[in-house]
DNA sequence: GCAATACTTAGCCTCATGGCACAGTATGTG
DNA sequence: CACATACTGTGCCATGAGGCTAAGTATTGC
């Protein structure tokens, strides 16, 4: 669960930036190269690459380099962490204390 | 929609901090005073108050002061913004371009 | 009214974030 | 081989987040 907290934290932090949410949205349409992605955002490539790395570290995307081109792919399963968190939150306020709730109750420990 | 982006951004930023997620979780069990809340987190009251204000600004909670006690209340509807965002994201990768998707497509503009 | 309680305000400090420019490396292309 | 392309690495900078202490204000209880 400490693991879970760290992962959840990474996902929320990654999605807290509009540029990175934009990338996630764009990748929803399919894998895209770093260059093609970067062209859609008003910043330099090195700056953009930081966002890509943040997203990759969070597990929201993964990347593959072929030749000199790095392609980014959305990792949809990762977004399920948000569903889990929301479900847990609802479990709390509905007073439920089922297995999931118990598991996640240790979130901040 | 610029409005929507700002609000969504506030919510994601607010939830990007473990302390604030902890507060949201705690408030899921019911309204609580700032003092009672603060006692559950390892930091000073002024520091904790910053988190409360961030949460309030994001719209995730609202607070009422009665006498010298300020009570925090979770605003559940606000979490629906996350559901919306997730739904939109799914709409994108499912290739759907329905009304919601169209509306939210302008997110980063 | 005096003291305790419950914030609130102000100011300071440190580190992380997000941006930049510039130079370097690796890979395709003619 | 030369040159363009597509990142990649380095270092710098400004801002803001998140923490602290110390002092102030407003209520409540005795």
Give, in Å, how far the C1' of C22 lies from the CA of A23: 26
- Asked whether the predicted pLDDT for residue B105 surpasses 60, the reply is no
Distances (CA, A) of A55 to A15, B7, B58, B103: 8, 21, 23, 25
| Mean of pLDDT values over B25-44 | 97
The DSSP string of A54-99 is HHHHHTSEEEEEETTEEEEEE-HHHHHHHHHHHHHHHHHHTT---H
Find residue B32's DSSP bridge partners: B72
CB within 8 Å: B18 and A28? no
Go through the domains of chain B in sequence order and give each one's CATH number.
Answer: 2-108 (1.10.10.10)
% of residues, chain B, pLDDT over 90: 76
Tens of pLDDT, residues A31-53 = 999 999 999 999 999 999 999 99
CB within 8 Å: B5 and A18? yes
Structure tokens at B103: 């509306």
- Asked whether the predicted pLDDT for residue A109 surpasses 90, the reply is no
Are the beta carbons of A31 and A72 closer than 8 angstroms? yes
- Asked whether the predicted pLDDT for residue B35 surpasses 50, the reply is yes
- Asked whether the predicted pLDDT for residue A108 surpasses 60, the reply is no
Range name among A93-97, B4-8, B19-23, B24-28 with the lowest pLDDT average: A93-97
Tens of pLDDT, residues B51-71 = 999 999 999 999 999 999 999
Which residues, at least 6 apart from B89, have a Cβ–Cβ distance to it below 8 Å? A24, A25, A28, A79
- What residues in A contact B25, CB-CB < 8 Å? 88-89, 92, 107-108
Structure tokens at A31: 């894998």
Q: What is the pLDDT of residue A26?
A: 97
Q: What is the pLDDT of residue B106?
A: 54
CB within 8 Å: B24 and A89? yes
Within residues 44-73 of protein chain A, the ones with CB less than 7 A from nucleic strand C are 44, 46-47, 50-51, 54, 66-68
Q: What band does A98 get if pLDDT is binned at 50, 70 and 90?
A: low
Q: Who wins on pLDDT, A109 or A39?
A: A39
Give, in Å, how far the C1' of C20 lies from the CA of A43: 9
Q: Testing the interface with B: which of A5, A8, A12 to mutate, by most B Cβ within 10 A? A: A12
Interface of A with B (CB under 8 A): 5, 8-9, 12-13, 15-16, 18-19, 21-22, 24-25, 28-29, 74, 76, 79, 82-83, 85-86, 88-89, 92-93, 107-108
- What residues in B contact A79, CB-CB < 8 Å? 86, 89
Q: What is the pLDDT of residue B1?
A: 63
Tens of pLDDT, residues A64-96 = 999 999 999 999 999 999 999 999 999 998 886
| Global model pTM greater than 0.75 | yes
Q: What is the pLDDT of residue A104?
A: 54
- Asked whether the predicted pLDDT for residue B109 surpasses 50, the reply is no
Q: What band does B108 get if pLDDT is binned at 50, 70 and 90?
A: very low
CB burial class (10 A; 0-12, 13-18, 19+) of residue B63?
middle
| Mean of pLDDT values over A85-109 | 70
C-alpha–C-alpha distance, residues A19 and A48, integer Å: 9
Q: Who wins on pLDDT, A78 or B1?
A: A78
């Amino acid at each position: 669960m400490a693991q879970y907290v760290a992962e959840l934290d990474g996902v929320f932090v990654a999605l807290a930036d509009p540029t990175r949410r934009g990338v996630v949205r764009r990748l929803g349409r399919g894998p895209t190269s770093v260059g093609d992605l970067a062209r859609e955002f008003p910043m330099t490539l090195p700056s953009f690459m930081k966002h890509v790395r943040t997203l990759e570290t969070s597990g929201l995307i993964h990347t593959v380099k072929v030749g000199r081109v790095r392609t980014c792919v959305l990792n949809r399963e990762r977004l399920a962490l948000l569903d889990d968190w929301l479900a847990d939150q609802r479990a709390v306020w509905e007073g439920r204390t089922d297995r999931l709730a118990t598991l996640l109750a240790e979130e901040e420990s």
